[in-house]
Amino acid sequence: MKTNVTLEQALAKASKRLQQKMMYSIDLLKKAERLALAYGGGNGYYLAFSGGKDSQALYHIAELAGVKFDAHMNFTSVDPPEVIRFVRKFYPEVDFIKPKKSIYQLAVEKQILPTMRVRWCCAEYKENSGAGRVTLIGIRHQESSRRAKRNEVEISSRKYSGTLEGLDEYRQELKAKRARRKSKKYGVNITNADQEQTLGCISGKESLLISPIIHWTEQDVWEFLNKVMEVPHCSLYDEGWHRLGCIGCPMSSTKQKQIENLRYPHVKRNWIKAIKAIRMGGELDSTEQEELSGVRPQGELSTADGCKQPKIGSNIQRIQGRADPRFRIPRKLMQDSEKWVLLQDKNQLRSVERTGFSDSSSSDRLTEEQENEIAENIYDWWISGKSHKEWYADKFLQTKIEFPEE
């Protein structure tokens, strides 16, 4: 969304507090632009866009700064349809990056559900975007205690975190180290080392992260969007949502996940199917790989504007690979879930107890209905944010308590 608001007009509408923050952000963007142009091959900044209020503020402050940038949005296959429709309507210039595989398919392949401690979903869909370039991100200190420790300039691999001025010192140190190594190996001396090409501070999949609005508060963001720039925002905010992210994000609260379950029941259904596939230690055949990719054959994303969510099929084949046991669905959780379901059939339960419960793969002894119930229990534990013991006590053990009649 290109606006016709000039910097002078924007500053005139802003409060004094916001004026100072806007100018600080613009100054940072202008100073770092030389790096963005150098690493971006003349294309400037890589702006990470999500459709949320912070990425909107980031987009428009970069626009006011007059720096060169291109905006990109990564789809995950669990994006709220309202967000995608909003971006398509008001920010058509944003480049949509479609996933090669859906999050459900990756969960089955990895044999791991994404959790707060193991957020492989972020690494797969977001963190590698803008590799080799200077990337603008819209994080803010006020958002969380973890982000409060972040700095306005960082290298994605965490090799450096600090200020733009400190980055120059860091680059000079790298250059000096390189010169010393060459001096030992090739005889380059200290007098001609300065003639060597300046050493880049990022390489490979790394990116240089710039956070221009890191010092802004939520109040600053809304004032900037509503009063200064006067641009629309996603309708979910008007319904009381405070953050816009992936449906069922591990970092969101249990209450938020429950709200999303009611609003987007297809996401829960797909996760249930994925959990069943993980229990069987399975992978999907080539046909289902295409169904799970989250992308239609014509290249249209299948998440919003009436598009269908990717489905998880039932043709599951056994595989030998296993995920890191520290992060798999707890064995005790699956055993307890199976045992609770089988209590309804005591003969079947005795048979299972003699042979032992499964570690990660389903057995023919369980019916489809029982498998569904076990997967439902695992999903309920997953979104609860509780340990297995705490969840199991709340879910099952308290139902056994018998209170004496008075």
Q: Other CB atoms closer than 10 Å to residue 122's CB: what's the count?
A: 15
At 221-262, the pLDDT tens digits run 999 999 999 999 999 999 988 889 899 888 888 888 889 999
At 115-125, the pLDDT tens digits run 887 878 888 88
Its CATH architecture, for the domain 7-164+203-238, is: 3-Layer(aba) Sandwich (3.40)
- Domain residues of the chain, as ranges? 7-164+203-238, 166-195
pLDDT at 148 over 80: yes
Strand partners, 210: 136, 153
> What pTM was computed for the model?
0.76
Pairing of the two strands 316-318 and 282-284: antiparallel
- Give the whole-number percent of the chain exceeding pLDDT 70: 71
Between CA 61 and CA 25 the distance in angstroms is 7
CB within 8 Å of 63: residues ≥ 6 apart: 2, 3
pLDDT at 158 over 70: yes
CB-CB contact of 72 with 104 (8 Å): no
Mean pLDDT value of segment 88-100: 93
CB within 8 Å of 280: residues ≥ 6 apart: 316, 318, 361, 362
